[in-house]
Amino acid sequence: MPQLIGNRIVLREYRKEDLVFMRKWCNDPEIVDNLSDIFLFPHTLNGTEQYLNSILEGKTEQKGFVIADKDTEEYIGQIDLFRLDWKNRSAELGIVIGIKEHLGKGYGTEAIKVLQEFVFNRLNLNRLQLEVHDFNERAYQCYLKCGFKEEGRLREKVFINGRYSDTIYMSILKSEYEELNNHLI
C-alpha cells in the first residue's frame, strides 16, 4: 500500500524498527484496556515480533498502516483494516495511539480521516465499521467527530476492571462520508 499523507501525520508501511514502539504499549493497561481481549494476557517480545513479522511478510488478512509523524516518520500508533469484505464493500477499523504523550492531540482523528479518504475513494468500500467500549469516551468522541454513527450496543458484553461494560457498534457509509466532506468544502 502507498503512504497516505495528512497535515501532521503520514500513514506508512510497518517496519522492523516499529517493534520497539509497539513493545512500549502492548502490555500497558492504560492503552490495552481500551482494545480487544487479545491483550488480556501479557504479550511477549517474541509474540509481538511474530505479529509484526506476519504483517511484514504479508501473512495476515489485516491491511494497515503505522501512524507516524509526517516529518520524522517516527511511530505514533497503528490503524488497520480487518475483515475486508470485497463483495459487500465493507471493512472493520482498528486504531491505537501507542505513545501516551500523543494521546488527546488529534492524531487519531487525523489518521481516521486520512484512512477514510483512502477507503472510500481508492478502495471503493461502502461501509467502515468499528467497536468501542462504552467507557472509552475519548475514542467515542473521536469517532463521532469523524462521522461514525452509533448502530447499537451489546449490553454488558465485556468485563474489565471489575465491572461489565457495553460494546458500542459504530459505522460510517460512503454516502455519509461524502455528505460530511461536501459541507467542509
What is the SS3 string spanning 114-180? HHHHHHHHCCCCCEEEEEEECCCHHHHHHHHHCCCEEEEEEEEEEEECCEEEEEEEEEEEHHHHHHH
Q: Where are the domains of the chain?
A: 4-184
Q: What is the mean pLDDT of residues 41-54?
A: 79
CB 66, CB 12: distance < 8 Å: yes
- Nearest to 101, CA basis, from 1, 180, 28: 28
User: Which pLDDT does position 56 carry in this prediction?
Assistant: 87
Q: Is the pLDDT of residue 185 over 80?
A: no
pLDDT-based confidence at residue 41 (cuts at 50, 70, 90): low
pLDDT greater at residue 40 or residue 18: 18
Check residue 42 and give its pLDDT. 67
Q: Which residue has the higher pLDDT, 43 or 99?
A: 99
**Residue that has been written with the C-alpha cell 509526517 in this structure:** 70
Average pLDDT value over all residues in the chain: 88
Region for 44 from its dihedrals, namely left if φ exceeds 0, alpha if ψ lies in -120 to 50, beta otherwise: beta
> What pLDDT is recorded for position 39?
64
Between the two ends of the chain, the Cα-to-Cα distance in Å is: 27
User: CA 134 from chain center: how many Å?
Assistant: 16
Residue 40 — very low, low, confident or very high, per pLDDT cuts 50/70/90?
Answer: low
Place of cell 455519509: 176
Measured at the CA of 25, the angle between CA 21 and CA 30, to 5 degrees, comes to 150
Instruction: Identify the residue with better confidence: 1 or 153.
Output: 153
Please give the pLDDT value at position 156. Answer: 94
pLDDT at 52: 85
Has residue 62 got a pLDDT over 70?
yes
pLDDT digits (tens, 9 = 90+) for 102-161: 888 999 999 999 999 999 999 999 999 999 999 999 999 999 999 999 999 999 998 988
- Superfamily of 4-184 according to CATH: Gcn5-related N-acetyltransferase (GNAT) (3.40.630.30)
Q: How far apart are CA 167 and CA 35, in angstroms?
A: 11
Angle at 92 between CA 87 and CA 97, to 5 degrees: 150
**What does the pLDDT look like over 163-174, one tens digit per residue?**
999 999 999 999
